[in-house]
Amino acid sequence: MRALKPALAVCLFVLMTVPPVHARSADKKKEEKPAEAAPEPRRQTLGVEYFRTAVDLDKSQEEKMRQLLSDYNKEKIKREGDIRFKELEFKELANQETLDFDKLEARYKEITDLQAGVGSFRVKKLLSAREFLNDEQYDKYKRKLLKMFFQ
């Protein structure tokens, strides 16, 4: 048993210090990559072009969709700006020498309320396309939205 203790210690030391084979092969693969790797594909954005063919919009519907998405994007930018502003205020409060927990908690609640508002706004605004899409188009539209939001 005494002879095994040094051997076990050496084995443990080797296992702890030597990277596994798959990690070494991954490092080699990283080194073998060409200098310019292909960029990752961008995630789909909400644009009329995406829905034009996916939902088969006519010209009138296309214009209404363009307006809906424009209004959506403008309002979304405003709301996200409000959230960022409140987050900055939260950070300022958190960096003060004497912390006021009540103010921090109130600011945090404001931030979470604004975030929840963005989510409900997104659903209500985007699903308002029901007003100008027929049943088949609306079904395709909902499936495309779900695919985009939950990729």
pLDDT tens digit string along 56-71? 899 999 999 999 999 9
Contact (Cβ atoms closer than 8 angstroms) between residue 114 and residue 86: yes
Question: Distance from CA of residue 100 to its chain's centroid?
Answer: 32
Mean pLDDT of 12-31: 47
pLDDT of 62 reads 93
What is the chain's Cα-based Rg? Answer: 27
Contact (Cβ atoms closer than 8 angstroms) between residue 149 and residue 56: no
pLDDT tens digit string along 103-151? 999 999 999 999 999 989 988 998 999 999 999 999 999 988 888 777 6
pLDDT of 47 reads 74
pTM: 0.61
Residue 1 has pLDDT above 70, yes or no: no
For residue 100, what is the DSSP state? -
| Rounded distance between C-alpha atoms, residue 126 and residue 149, angstroms | 12
* CA 89 vs CA 69, 101, 108, 117, 119: distances in Å: 30, 14, 10, 19, 22
Where b means 16+ CB within 10 Å and e means fewer, 92-108 reads: ebeeeeeeeeeeeeebe
3-state helix, strand, coil in the chain (%, to 5): 75, 0, 25
| Rounded distance between C-alpha atoms, residue 136 and residue 151, angstroms | 23
Contact (Cβ atoms closer than 8 angstroms) between residue 52 and residue 62: yes
Residue 80 has pLDDT above 80, yes or no: yes
Q: Which residue has the higher pLDDT, 119 or 50?
A: 119
pLDDT of 4 reads 45
pLDDT of 14 reads 42
